[in-house]
Structures are given as C-alpha cells and as structure tokens.
Amino acid sequence: MKSDSVHRYLKNKVSYNEKIHLTLIDPDKVTSFEELERIADELFSAGTDAFLVGGSVGVSERDVDEVVKALKKFNLPVILFPGNISGLSREADALLFMSLLNSDDPYFIVGAAVLGAPIVLRYELEALPTAYIIVGYGGAAGYVGRARPIPYEKPELGAAYVLAAKYLGMKYVYLEAGSGAPEPIPQEFIFTSSKVKGDAVLIVGGGIRTPDQALNAVKAGADAIVTGTVIEKNPKQATEIVKAVKKYSRKH
C-alpha cells in the first residue's frame, strides 16, 4: 500500500456517506501483545475501518514498529498518528502528516514535519495532509504541542481554523479534544466546522466513551471518529461504539 490507496480507501467511504471509525492504539499503553491482538480482533469484527498508532509521550520508533506489525494481521490500513518524529515506522501504510495549526510553537506547526519528511519519503509512507486543531481540554497533545486550545463555546473560531485548513489544501482536518477529555467536542462546534470544511475529511476525537457520544459526533457532521481511551478501559464498550457508528452508516 504505497501509493494513495489509504486516502482512496477513506475518501471512498466518505463519498458513500459511510461514517468511519478509527481505532487508536497508543504504543505507550500496550502492556501485552496477546491482549492487543485480542481487542484488535474484536474491533475488527465489529467493523472498525482502520488503525491509528501514536501517542504524545513515551513512544519510540521500535515500540511503534511492534504495534504496527501486530495490527497488520487484520488487513486494514495502519495509519501513524505521530506525536513527534519518533512516531514513524516503515511498517505502516500511511501517516497523518500533521500541522498543529493552533500551536504557539513553530516546531509543532511545521518543524517536526520538516524533520520527518525525508523519513516519510525513505519509508515510502503515504502522507495524509492533516490540519490538527486542538479544542477544549486538549490533554497531553495540547500540553506537549503548546497549543492554545479553542474553547468549546467558540465554534466560530474553530470554523475559522477549518476554513484556513481548507484554503491551505489540507485533505484531513482533525478536531482533537485531547485523549481522555472529560467531555467530547460539542455538536454545535462540530456542525459549525463541518459546514466550511469543503472536501476535507473531518476527523473528531477525544473523550468519546459511549455509542451516543459517537453518534452525536457523526450526526453533527464528523466523517470519522477516533476512540482510544475507551479501548484501553472498556473494550466491550469500544466494540459497541464501532457497531453503533457502522449501523448508523448503513441506515443513512
């Protein structure tokens, strides 16, 4: 999978109005590979569309390699979601090639991308150009990335970032509340962003713990939702979220 096939795979789903579920695995949180494969198998059977692999803290390239190799067995795209250049792996299919648009630090806006780009070329990874926008709580991603998170009460500010991302030619926009956010991004915020996103794929994550919260996000206009923490804390519930998203897709 070394051309634009992951992008085509995801865009094809969006074009049929299918909502995408992305399973996020943080290599720093993996304690047992047997357990990882068991949970990944359940999520695969429930219909998750792809795996994201990444984290903000404590992730080495070797850790990422091992997790990616374990997930490749499922015949789904494995997409890197790197917190830094140590989050790259030649074993993956693609990566969210990100600019953290609302960081105050040029390193996270473009510096890490510059350092990582030659590695992406050498590893022949498919780059998915992604505007990463941190909202509300922000979590470790917001703290490490020196973001100024956009308040949940300011959807118009979020929409201005999304519009800027569109004009910059970003194909993906990721609204991130931060891993373990106490509350997911409100519907009005997602809706306002979805109205201006154009052809970009709108990814929403952070704090989604229940099927209802996942459905709220897709009903408000998210093309894809990400769940991470709930997979670690309550894999059964995570499976229910995947089923709910895929069932909604079939009905709409």
Residues 6 or more apart whose CB falls under 8 angstroms from that of 32 comprise none
CB of 227 or CB of 239, closer to ligand 1GP: 227
Residue among 112, 131, 208, 217 that touches ligand 1GP (CB under 6 A): 208
The yes or no reply on residue 87 touching ligand 1GP (CB under 6 A) is no
CB 36 within 8 A of CB 25: yes
Angle between helices 211-219 and 187-194 (to 10 degrees): 30
Distance CA 174, CA 104 (A): 18
CB 177 to ligand 1GP: min, Å: 7
CB-neighbour burial class of residue 124 (10 A; exposed 0-12, middle 13-18, buried 19+): exposed
Q: Examine residue 205 and tell whether it contacts ligand 1GP (CB under 6 A).
A: yes
- Which CB sits closer to ligand 1GP, 116 or 184? 184
Instruction: Tell me the residue type at 118.
Output: P
Q: From the list 206, 217, 220, 222, which residue makes contact with ligand 1GP (rule: CB under 6 A)?
A: 206
DSSP 24-59: EE-GGG---HHHHHHHHHHHHHHT--EEEE--SSS-
Q: Does 149 bind ligand 1GP (CB under 6 A)?
A: no
The site that binds ligand 1GP (CB under 6 A) totals a number of residues, namely 15
> Would you count residue 244 as binding ligand 1GP (CB under 6 A)?
no
- Nearest position to ligand 1GP, beta carbon: 205
- 214-233 mask for ligand 1GP (x: CB under 6 A)? ------------xxxxx---
Residue 168 vs residues 134, 173, 240: alpha-carbon distances, Å: 18, 11, 36
Return the residue of 180, 191, 234, 235 that touches ligand 1GP, per CB under 6 A.
180
Counting contacts by CB under 6 A, is residue 211 touching ligand 1GP?
A: no
Nearest distance in Å: CB 71, ligand 1GP: 16
Select 89 or 179, whichever has its Cβ closest to ligand 1GP: 179
Contact 41, 74 (CB under 8 A): yes
| 98 lines the binding site for ligand 1GP (CB under 6 A) | no
Binding site for ligand 1GP (CB under 6 A): 24, 141, 176, 179-181, 205-208, 226-230
